[in-house]
Amino acid sequence: MDLICPDCKSQITAAPQNALEASSLFCEPCERTFDVVGHVPVLLPRGLTEIKEAELGYWNQTAAGDMNLDRISQHYEDDAFTSDPWKMYSYSPLFDALPKDTPILEVGSGALTTALYLLLFRGFSKIVLTDISPALLGLSAQYAKSKGFDLKGLHYAADMENLPFADSSFQVVMVHAALHHLQDPVPAVKEMARCLRPGGLLIIGHEPNRLLLEPLRALQRVLKITDRDTEHHFSEADDVAEGFTRPQLERVLSESGIELVRISPVWFLTALMYNFPYVSEKLVRRKLAIGPGGRRAAVWLDKLLLKIPVLKDRSLFLCTVGAKNP
């Protein structure tokens, strides 16, 4: 897999010969050096926007605080991507028919990356993970190393609007619950499409539905339980995110040369159960957990609600799958 400069798109070189083992990478046309920190090449472009700089700082700080190896280990105790107890990975079966050497890229992966399930539990060998935060990826790299995986080419700190990979490098490109962090999703989706092979799959999983997000945000502001109200440090991008409508997602794919396969509604009552501990902590300063029985009841009721045609555009989240035009 060839690495390219996020600024000029020229191929990156390094000494020694194998760039992935080097302590730095180099773009000759830009005369720019990129550091490799803790097995993570930091391939961020010059001139990040103000909100991206804020996100970089927030997630690096999260890596130094709330996120740790114990939390990551608990997250991957079992294959929740396949069992999907909360029904947030409706696209998981798409990987069943793919060869185990399929090159797969996850963008905006964070430390609790979705694609790492494919490496840990399903035998996929060519996984690449990117995020804007080198610190989050460093934690993910430490965990992967503890499980005996080769770290070469696994993690890259990158901006999803300026991905450091050559055209047509991957058969699958996925982003889970991260695209809404961008003010304009089109440039990022076009970048993901550029990195896809013809016929390859683009998966935009678990993105908030604007039709529901706006009134819910208004309610949060009235109750003063937004992160801005209750946290000293918070994600600026999450705070201003607007979410997506179904027609907007269709347009974004069309403008990016991606043919829509499906847009699936995700979560009605299940969203309330999943977020209840978070909301209760905001309201009464106590995290109240929902047991397996409550989760199963919500999932069962959601199945009934999904059968009502008028509700297909009223789920709290949407999952979009597309294929790159030949």
**What does the pLDDT look like over 53-100, one tens digit per residue?**
999 999 999 898 878 889 999 999 999 999 999 999 999 999 999 999
Average pLDDT, integer, range 13-23: 55
Looking at residue 22, its pLDDT comes to 54
Q: What is the pTM of this model?
A: 0.93
Instruction: Find the range with the poorest average confidence among 138-152, 172-186, 226-240.
Output: 226-240
> Are residues 266 and 88 in contact, defined by beta-carbon separation less than 8 angstroms?
yes
**152 is written with which tokens?**
């070469």
Side chain identity at residue 307, one-letter code: K
| CA geometry: angle 14, 22, 138, nearest 5 deg | 125
How much of the chain exceeds pLDDT 90, in percent? 70
131-152 pLDDT, tens digit each: 999 999 999 999 999 999 988 8
> Are residues 182 and 48 in contact, defined by beta-carbon separation less than 8 angstroms?
no
Mean of the per-residue pLDDT values of the chain = 91
The distance from CA 244 to its chain's CA centroid, rounded to whole angstroms, is 15
| pLDDT above 90 for 14 | no
Distance between CA atoms of residues 104 and 172, nearest Å? 5
Q: How confident is the model at residue 19 (pLDDT cuts 50, 70, 90)?
A: very low
Looking at residue 47, its pLDDT comes to 92
Average pLDDT, integer, range 295-316: 92
Looking at residue 88, its pLDDT comes to 94
Distance between CA atoms of residues 273 and 223, nearest Å? 19
Looking at residue 288, its pLDDT comes to 86
Q: How confident is the model at residue 289 (pLDDT cuts 50, 70, 90)?
A: confident
Who contacts 44 (Cβ-Cβ below 8 Å, separation ≥6)?
Answer: 6, 56, 132, 157, 158, 159, 162
Looking at residue 16, its pLDDT comes to 45
As separate numbers, helices (DSSP H) first and strands (DSSP E) second, the chain gives 12, 10
Q: How confident is the model at residue 109 (pLDDT cuts 50, 70, 90)?
A: very high
| pLDDT above 80 for 17 | no
Looking at residue 215, its pLDDT comes to 85
191-231 pLDDT, tens digit each: 999 999 999 999 999 999 999 888 888 887 887 877 777 77
Instruction: Find the range with the poorest average confidence among 84-98, 149-163, 269-283.
Output: 269-283
Structural domains of the chain in order of their starting residue, each with its CATH number? 39-268+306-324 (3.40.50.150)
